[in-house]
Amino acid sequence: MFYFGGDYNPEQWPEEVWAEDVALMRLAGVTAVTVGVFSWAMLEPTEGRYEFGWLDRVLDMLHDGGIRVVLATPTASPPPWFSLAHPDALPVTADGVRLTHGSRDTYCASAPAYRDACRRMARELAGRYGGHPALTMWHVHNEYGTRCHCDHVAEAFRRWLRARYGSLDRLNDAWTTAFWSQWYSDWAQVLPPRATQYLPNPGQVLDFRRFVSDELLAAYIEQRDVLRELSPGVPVTTNFALGGWVPIDHARWAREVDVVAIDHYPSATGPAAAEQIALAADLARSWARAAGVGWLLMEQAAGMVYTPGRILAKAPGELVRHSLGHVARGSQGAMFFQWRAPRGGAERFHSALVPHAGPASRVFQEACTLGTLLRDLSTVDGDVVADVAILWDAQAGWAGEGPGVPSEDVRYLDAIEAAHRVLYRAGFTVDFTAPDADLSGYRLVVVPSLYLVSDAAAARIGGYVASGGHLVVSFFSGIADVDGRVRLGGHPGAFRDILGVRVDEFRPLPPDEPVKLSTGDSGQVWSEHVQLIGATAVASYTGGVLDGSPAVTRHEFGAGVAWYLSTRLDDPAYGRLLADAARAAGAVPPQPGIEAVRRGSWLFLLNHSDEPVTVPAAGVDLVTGRPVDGTVEVPAGGVAVVRPPGFV
Ligand code: GLA
């Protein structure tokens, strides 16, 4: 059975509304709701005084209604009494401003009082509800991702650095502290990157990001271990927020959860939203698979997202299509933020499955359609298989955007999104893979702007190509070692031999000043002087300082092929190049012209266009219930899920 439901906050409503909630959940086919995410103040109104009566009634009521409960620990939003009692547990910005309670996420994850209070709360909840029959999953906290720069953090950062480097000498070397007289003679001098005069040390900034991810992970693990101890057998997770601002290495975190759970809110509408959904789902599936667990879309919007200055409303049909976009790519369901729209509070205009207008609304009707559909799809199972992969490494992204890089316009997420977007548009299903992963199952591996890479990972990538793999690497890759220090002898240091090129000069491009290429395409953002040391040029720069020098190259390396892109191609040209490389590598796109994803034996067809699309298929369309004999027509904005013939 798929998870279908959303964040449910009954504490915001009088109890009379609860019965209507359960009746409407049953009507919509809701199977699970997430309870308690922001309930700390209602569960512990003053320090040590717990009020669980209301939550007892909620869980019992949901159980009686046949709705499963994903029970959250409410530690993302400590109540006002907590901050007043423990002012040292309030976060401090890099500028030294200590924040005040009044919003959410206002805590320092390194403050002992906060960590103690979180463990206590997890213990109380697990002790009371660990065996409740409605409980299906634990949901620790909410979207870990806060930062603090206080003295507790300074101490924890130093502990983390000692464990990483062992000695100050090693740290001084890794951070190149001989530069600008930053050399440390005592651990006590080492601080988080607080506001300073000019550019901070890039090694310090990179390690702080790594530390923040590990420190928050340690806070999660403490709660998880309490829940596992008192509530054995119930899966534990936490919901991952996605986006460049999130200081979390999700691939690393995935190894510590029983289910990878993501929240996903596209920052665009229309087809661009569908592309973002495919990317988020492919990331989640890939993190989960590498960790040997499943994954679930824990939150998405039912309609409008409240984003200051921007309206991001969903078009009719998108609630269903977006949900199936995730399910097609392996999600164990489609959950929403939130069940019922609140009357007040900062997110009162954030959409909900039950909007302010109530159930007599388009959104609620679509929710009912989705509920029925997910029930009809309950036999869907199996994994998604891709023969093209994009290499993803959060830490390389952090390092490549650190202080003092040659171009602020080289953004890691942009590079990842562009590679995924053009492959998606060409019809390829894409996995993400990690620098330390086995690449041998992929026909083509794309490496976008991987600034930092270890020697071991570079060797593994080289071995993949040498034994017949196909590789496409884009500019600003292989530049630095694991400490973020530049590799010498010409760029892209770690990949020079594999790519058969040597770069002796970067020439980042100003905004809107593209360079022309011999193919008639143009390059943006970046250019560089490329020398061939074994590769052949397939496109050259035309005009300007780089006139005639190689822009795109191809190198036969061992039994494989390695391509290099020294500039950012526009989407159509990049798409052509990757599609050609993929086809040459033997990858076959399943079905261009529509979003087509095979999950196990089931073929998901999502039509994001305004025209019907006809696709070859055979079996039964589980959406219409009709047999499919050779072709299926997917209506404009519609979906089809074809079960193969002979399925019992
Ligand atoms: C996140 C949070 C929710 C809510 C939504 C709004 O996903 O987890 O509590 O704030 O964003 O988009």
The set of residues, in sequence order, having a beta carbon less than 8 Å from that of 607 and lying 6+ positions away, is 594, 595, 613, 634, 635, 636, 637, 638, 639
Contacts of 125 (CB under 8 A, 6+ apart): 36, 43, 71, 73, 227
Task: Say which of 124, 215, 275, 299 is annotated catalytic.
Answer: 299
Q: What pLDDT digit, counting tens, does each position of 591-624 carry? A: 778 999 999 999 999 999 999 999 999 999 999 9
Instruction: Name the catalytic one among 124, 143, 366, 595.
Output: 143
Give CA–CA dist 421/279, Å, rounded: 8
pLDDT of residue 269: 87
Pocket test for ligand 1, best of 299, 304, 311 (most atoms within 8 A of CB): 299
Query: Does pLDDT of 648 surpass 70?
Result: no
Q: How far is CA 240 from CA 140, 214, 246, 312, in A?
A: 11, 14, 9, 21
To the nearest whole number, what is the mean pLDDT of the chain?
97
Atom 5 (ligand 1) nearest CA: 337
pLDDT for residue 310: 73
- pTM, rounded to two decimals: 0.97
Tell me the per-residue pLDDT of 370-416, one tens digit each, with 9 for 90 and over.
Answer: 999 999 999 998 999 999 999 999 999 999 999 999 999 999 999 99
User: Average pLDDT for residues 231-238, to the nearest whole number?
Assistant: 98
Task: Tell how far the Cα of 619 is from the centroid of ligand 1, in angstroms.
Answer: 39
Contact 195, 95 (CB under 8 A): yes
Bridge partners of 550, per DSSP, are: 540
Give helix 318-328 / helix 271-291 axis angle, nearest 10°.
30
Give kind and range of the element (H or E) at residue 376.
helix 362-376
- Asked if residue 139 has its Cβ within 6 Å of ligand 1, the reply is no
Closest atom of ligand 1 to 38 CA is 9
- Does ligand 1 have an atom closer than 6 angstroms to the CB of 337? yes
Centre a 10 Å sphere on the Cβ of residue 110 and count the other Cβ atoms it contains.
Answer: 26
Residue 388 CA: distances (Å) to CA of 361, 456, 579: 42, 22, 10
The radius of gyration of the chain's CA atoms, rounded to the nearest angstrom, is: 26
Any atom of ligand 1 within 6 Å of the Cβ of 9: no
Contacts of 375 (CB under 8 A, 6+ apart): 1, 2, 29
Percent of the chain topping pLDDT 90: 95
Euclidean distance between CA atoms 98 and 113, whole angstroms: 16
The per-residue pLDDT for range 453-469, each reduced to its tens digit, is: 999 999 999 999 999 99
Give mean pLDDT, residues 545-573. Answer: 98
Single-letter code of the amino acid located at 280: A
Cβ proximity of 183 and 189 under 8 Å: no
Q: Confirm or reject: Cβ of 141 under 6 Å from ligand 1.
A: no
Ligand 1 centroid distance, CA of 305 (Å): 9
Residue 142 Cβ contacting ligand 1 at under 6 Å: yes
Could you tell me the pLDDT band of residue 151, with boundaries at 50, 70 and 90?
very high
What pLDDT, in 10s, does the model give residues 249-270? 999 999 999 999 999 999 988 9
Beta-strand runs (E) in 424-481: 430-433, 444-447, 470-474
Length of the chain in residues, anyone? Answer: 648
CA of 92 to the centre of ligand 1 (A): 23
User: By C-alpha distance, which of 523, 521, 586, 577 is closest to 554?
Assistant: 577
Q: What would the DSSP string read from start to end of 510-561?
A: PTT--EEETTS-EEES--EEEEESS-EEEEEEESSTTTTSEEEEEEEETTEE
Residue (of 161, 165, 249) closest to 213 by Cα position = 249
Closest CA to 215 of 283, 158, 166: 158
Cα 337 to averaged position of ligand 1 atoms, centre (Å): 6
Q: 307 pLDDT exceeds 80?
A: no
Q: What is the pairing mode between strands 305-307 and 310-312? A: antiparallel
- pLDDT band with cut points at 50, 70 and 90 for residue 588: confident
Q: What is the pLDDT averaged over residues 489-508?
A: 98
Q: Which amino acid is at 248?
A: I
Calculate how far, in angstroms, residue 335's C-alpha sits from the geometric centre of ligand 1.
12
- Digit-coded pLDDT (tens) for 333-349: 999 999 999 999 999 99
Residue 351 has pLDDT above 80, yes or no: yes
Q: Determine whether the shortest distance from the Cβ of 305 to ligand 1 is under 6 A.
A: yes
Verify whether residue 275 is a known catalytic residue.
no
Residue nearest to atom 4 of ligand 1 (CA): 337
State pLDDT tens for residues 284-296.
999 999 999 999 9
pLDDT on residue 181: 98
Distance separating alpha carbons of residues 122 and 141, to the nearest angstrom = 10
Q: Has residue 421 got a pLDDT over 80? A: yes
Q: Taking residues 544-569, report their average pLDDT.
A: 98
Q: Which amino acid is at 623?
A: V
What is the distance between the alpha carbons of residues 393 and 460, in angstroms, rounded to a whole number?
15
Which of 225, 298, 260, 231 has its CA nearest to residue 34?
298
CA of 36 to the centre of ligand 1 (A): 14
The pLDDT of 58-65, averaged and rounded, is: 98
Q: Percent of the chain, pLDDT > 70?
A: 99
Q: Is 350 in the pocket of ligand 1 (CB under 6 A)?
A: yes
d(CA 21, CA 10): 9
CA 405 to chain centre: 24
Q: Which atom of ligand 1 is nearest to the CA of 305?
A: 12
Q: What's the token pair of residue 77?
A: 């939003």
pLDDT per residue as tens digits for the range 510-527: 999 999 999 999 999 999
pLDDT given at position 591: 73
Active site residue 143: yes
- Rounded distance between C-alpha atoms, residue 506 and residue 485, angstroms: 17
